Amino acid sequence: MATIQAKVSRGHKYWYIVESRRVNGKPRPIVLAYLGKAEDLLRRLQGLTAGLKLKSYSHGAMAALLSAAQRLDIPAEINRHVHSPRTYMAEKPIRNNLTVGMTLLLGAIGRICMQTSKRGWWAWAKTTSCEYLLRCSLSRIDSQHFWDLMDALPIDAIPRIESVLVKRVLSQYAIQTDTLFFDTTNFFTYVATTNTRCTIAQRGKNKQHRYDLRQVGLALVVSREDFIPLFHLTYQGNFNDITVFKSVVESIKTRMEELHLDLQRHCLVFDRGNNSKKNLAMVTTTGLHYVGALSPSHHAALVDEALEHMNERVESARQEFLVFRDKRVIWDEERTVVAFVSDKLRAGQIRGLHQELAKAEKNLTDLQERLKNPCSYHFKAAVEAEERVLIALHTVNARQVFTFSVCQNTLGGWDLTYAKNLGKIDELQEEMGLRILMTDRHDWNTAAIIEAYHGQSFIENAFRNLKNPAHLALRPQYHWTDQKIAVHFFICVLGYLLATVVRREAIKKASFVGSMDALLDTLNNIRLATIIEESITPGPAKATHKLEVLDAEQ
């Protein structure tokens, strides 16, 4: 039984916790703990330890992501493919005691947790438990550190690294991959127009409407379950979807074979923007099964027949649809066609149509007043005035709905009269909300085909995450060469892969229900407290690490 005993040394009384134990058959007092002087003990009991310092760090996300990365052995796999092109550096360079693989992993974790530049990485990292978990100093990591080590990863090694890592994810977490979803997006950059060394950043149709800036494209394939990224490609920003799809079909097939996925049991889902006769012929040649979409405007006869014979009711994703199903030869191949009307899509398209027509009518009204003034425009013929009206009616729908005529008035100006064709509006609304799907999965039921296509929302969710300014943000990318941009995109997709793995674990082990954003916020709010107590006797301070009190969700 332990007791408190005092010892006097040099006129001072010191207290100890002592337990009596037998040593060689004789009882001996054994000191279990030193308590110090009475006033020291009093301060401890009152919780007012002299020299006590506290600091807390964001811990949950860092710990979860590093743990997942360790299980997948990410740094080692990256390091196998490292080859520095610089003659004054080692083939597999190490900077500040960090390898290329570890550096890219830390960069990926930084993109997951908080949007930051390479220069600002340490300013964020020192607010986390990263140094404590890795047991090394990271204070010297700056933008130059990242640039030097990113330079040592060849672009052609990225697909090989990704293939191995995805294979490990599929085997360790038993991800269902029966249906895969393909889509593309783009990210604007601030690469200068005068930069001729960078060929991957080009001007194109930017999805954030930054047509004034150069952009880089990203193609992605994700799984139905947990949105795991299985394949990505960084491509030139001026390539359209059809061109990109044609260039990646064979690569997607190769990746599926590397992952040991049975082509006969898997189905690739893609949007209508990727369609062309040649592209579908390539898909058929590779042996991939698919579900795609057709543009109603390109298949008018099919639309008319579908709207007339849409009488089968199908329930899919808790919605009931009126559908039309048939087999048709489209682009020299027999395909199963499913047409249906989505009420949600229809309502949105009708709202968009009326907004579009209202804007066009306002443009016509404003132009009508300006044309009356002979000083506003100096048209020599009615044809020139009509061309100006067509500019005001800048959309296809507006030009179909509005009819107009222009004639010169006695003052030298022009009189514009216009009318709205209400019958044409009804006709346009009749075809709105229509989806036409096609597939070579003739044995699938109609509901399964519709559900597969609706799964496109999974990859759209992945793109939303990669454009989320709080977590997983691919932008900003402060790189100006093709190689650095490709490696930066790889870092961001690697970060997204890690985040999806952590989310899957949270769902399976903790029954987590919520978005990726909510999960990362919750994990970031789990904090590790460091309690530093100055030593009474000469020697280093004592540090104790404890998690802060967690709530039920954490």
Q: What is the pLDDT of residues 391-406, one digit of tens each?
A: 888 888 999 999 888 8
C-alpha to C-alpha distances, 386 to 27, 383, 419, nearest whole angstrom:
113, 5, 15
| Backbone φ, ψ for residue 352 (5° rounding) | -65, -40
Residue 369 clears pLDDT 60, i.e. is over it: yes
Q: Measure CA of the first residue to CA of the last residue in the chain; give whole Å.
A: 40
| Side chain identity, residue 448 | A
* Boundaries of every domain in the chain: 1-48, 54-153+469-554, 158-342+433-467, 346-430
Poorest-pLDDT segment among 75-89, 166-180, 366-380, 386-400 = 366-380
Q: What is the pLDDT of residue 27?
A: 83
Q: Output the pTM of the full model.
A: 0.82
Q: Check: CB of residue 434 under 8 Å from CB of residue 341.
A: yes
What pLDDT is recorded for position 457? 85
CATH superfamily of 158-342+433-467: Transposase Inhibitor Protein From Tn5; Chain A, domain 1 (3.90.350.10)
State residue 345's pLDDT score.
Answer: 82
Q: How would residue 527 be classed by pLDDT, with cut points 50, 70 and 90?
A: very high
Q: What is the pLDDT of residue 539?
A: 64
Predicted local confidence at residue 22, as pLDDT: 81
49, pLDDT greater than 60: no
Q: What residue has token string 């990646």? A: 248
d(CA 194, CA 81): 33
Average pLDDT over residues 428-435: 86
Q: Tokens for 361?
A: 């009518």
Going by C-alpha positions, the residue among 319, 287, 321, 318 that lies closest to residue 306 is 321
Nearest to 522 by CA among 488, 499, 498, 543: 499
pLDDT, residue 543, reads 74
pLDDT at residue number 430? 83
The highest-confidence range among 3-12, 329-338, 421-430, 490-499, by mean pLDDT, is 490-499
pLDDT above 70 (res 538) = no
Instruction: Please check the confidence at residue 120 and state whether its pLDDT lies above 80.
Output: yes
**Per-residue pLDDT at 394:** 84
At residue 38, the pLDDT reads 83
Strands of the sheet containing 527-533, edge to edge, are 52-58, 527-533, 542-547
Sole residue written with tokens 């222009």: 406
Torsional sign, CA 85, 89, 91, 97: negative
The confidence score (pLDDT) of residue 535 equals: 63
Contact 50, 532 (CB under 8 A): no
Q: DSSP character for 550?
A: P
Average pLDDT over residues 163-168: 97
Phi and psi angles of residue 99, each rounded to the nearest 5 degrees, phi first: -80, 175
Q: Is the model's pLDDT at 48 over the cut of 60?
A: no
Alpha-carbon gap, residue 180 to 224, rounded angstroms: 6
Taking the C-alpha atoms of residue 409 and residue 376, their distance in angstroms, rounded to an integer, is: 14
Per-residue confidence (pLDDT) for residue 486, from 0 to 100? 96
pLDDT at 264 over 70: yes
Q: In what order do the strands lie in the sheet with 26-36?
A: 2-9, 12-23, 26-36
Task: With H, G, I as helix, E, B as strand and everything else as coil, classify residue 116.
Answer: coil
Res 45 pLDDT > 90 = no
CB 226 within 8 A of CB 169: no
Per-residue confidence (pLDDT) for residue 35, from 0 to 100: 81
Contact in structure between 85 and 484 (CB atoms under 8 Å) = no
The rounded mean pLDDT for the chain is 88
pLDDT for 554: 61
Non-local CB neighbours of 342 within 8 Å, separated by 6+ positions: 321, 433, 435
